[in-house]
């Protein structure tokens, strides 16, 4: 079994969410992926049990295999984390962790069009049974709707040009693959924008992925449920990878901590970011931010 995802901010996550080594505890890993963070905690805290949530059955199989060396201590649940937390028992977890990034697995192995560097079906669904794919979006949304999600979720300044190009292309033939979408975007933007620091398709692909999986819509409800599910004295850690995610986490925690009778206090006044050493060995960690709160 090949593991592609390297758990980001692993030292900081272990430090801020540390547990006693001689007491029973429960942790909910809301975005288990290939099991990197779960493995760190299970190996460090021998009396810990982890409930691992992931909606993608394919990547979850990797986590189950990887964590089988901890018999009886890892329970995999195939669900969206907001759905799971909504039904979870109050004050039942000592630690709750969210790593909101998409795993390297999805770009490199899933064959679902997450990467514009590969020629794959333009899918992007984490839940293969979901009805809406990225291809459905670019082929059926109106030009105005496309421009709106590309701007809102990708913060793409040329969203209108890109939306228009998608609509013009699909009038001749459907947009079916990631490479096809990337080529449309490349030729839609000005020449000077095509060869910048990042690919001109980066922001649009992010926007399509967020829309397909309703990623931002899940964050605030999940954090509020996580506070309810957390035991008193327990901690929640959230790792984000772009400003849209981080803004929701920051203000949700801030609003809850400043209530008249708050249930939480903020542990990380400023988000924890990777060290230069981690950035060198794990490039995807560069944009990561960790925020931590504790239940009063």
pLDDT tens profile 148-171: 999 999 999 999 999 999 999 999
What does the alpha-carbon distance between residue 83 and residue 71 come to, in Å, rounded to a whole number?
26
Q: Which fold has domain 111-213?
A: DNA polymerase; domain 1 (1.10.150)
pLDDT at 89 over 60: yes
Would you state the pLDDT for residue 283?
Answer: 73
- At residue 200, the pLDDT reads 95
CATH 1.10.150.170 in the chain: give the residue spans: 111-213
Domain limits, CATH 3.40.50.150, in the chain: 10-105+215-295
Give the pLDDT of residue 280: 82
The pTM (predicted TM-score) of the whole model is 0.94
Check pLDDT > 90 for residue 278: no
Does the structure show a pLDDT above 80 at 100?
yes
Give the integer Cα–Cα distance in Å for 75 and 38: 11
Which pLDDT does position 8 carry in this prediction? 86
Mean pLDDT across the chain: 95
pLDDT at 4 over 70: no
Place domain 10-105+215-295 in its CATH homologous superfamily. Answer: Vaccinia Virus protein VP39 (3.40.50.150)
- Region 186-205: mean pLDDT is 93
pLDDT tens digits for 211-237? 999 999 999 999 999 999 999 999 999
Quick one: what percent of the chain has pLDDT higher than 90?
A: 87
């Amino acid at each position: 079994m090949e593991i592609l995802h390297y758990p980001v901010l692993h030292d900081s996550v272990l430090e801020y969410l540390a547990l006693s080594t001689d007491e029973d505890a429960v942790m909910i890993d809301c975005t288990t992926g290939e099991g990197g963070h779960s493995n760190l905690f299970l190996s460090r805290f021998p009396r810990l049990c982890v409930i691992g949530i992931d909606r993608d059955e394919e990547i979850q199989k990797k986590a189950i295999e990887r964590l089988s060396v901890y018999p009886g201590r890892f329970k995999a649940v195939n669900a969206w984390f907001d759905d799971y937390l909504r039904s979870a028992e109050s004050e039942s977890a000592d630690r709750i962790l969210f790593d909101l990034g998409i795993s390297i697995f999805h770009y490199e192995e899933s064959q679902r069009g997450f990467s514009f560097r590969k020629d794959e079906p333009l899918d992007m669904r984490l839940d293969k049974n979901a009805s809406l794919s990225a291809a459905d979006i670019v082929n059926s949304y109106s030009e105005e709707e496309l421009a709106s999600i590309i701007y809102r979720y990708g913060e793409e300044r040329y969203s209108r040009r890109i939306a228009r190009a998608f609509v013009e292309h699909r009038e001749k033939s459907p947009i079916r693959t990631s490479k096809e979408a990337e080529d449309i975007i490349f030729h839609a933007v000005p020449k000077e924008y095509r060869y910048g620091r990042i690919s001109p398709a980066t922001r649009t692909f992010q926007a399509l992925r967020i829309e397909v999986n309703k990623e931002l819509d899940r964050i605030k409800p999940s954090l509020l449920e996580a506070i309810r599910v957390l035991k008193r004295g327990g901690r929640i850690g959230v790792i984000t990878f772009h400003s849209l995610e981080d803004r929701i986490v920051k203000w949700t925690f801030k609003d809850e901590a400043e209530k008249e009778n708050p249930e939480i206090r903020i542990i990380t006044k400023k988000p924890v970011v990777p060290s230069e050493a981690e950035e060198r060995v794990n490039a995807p960690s560069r944009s990561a931010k960790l925020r931590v709160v504790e239940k009063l």
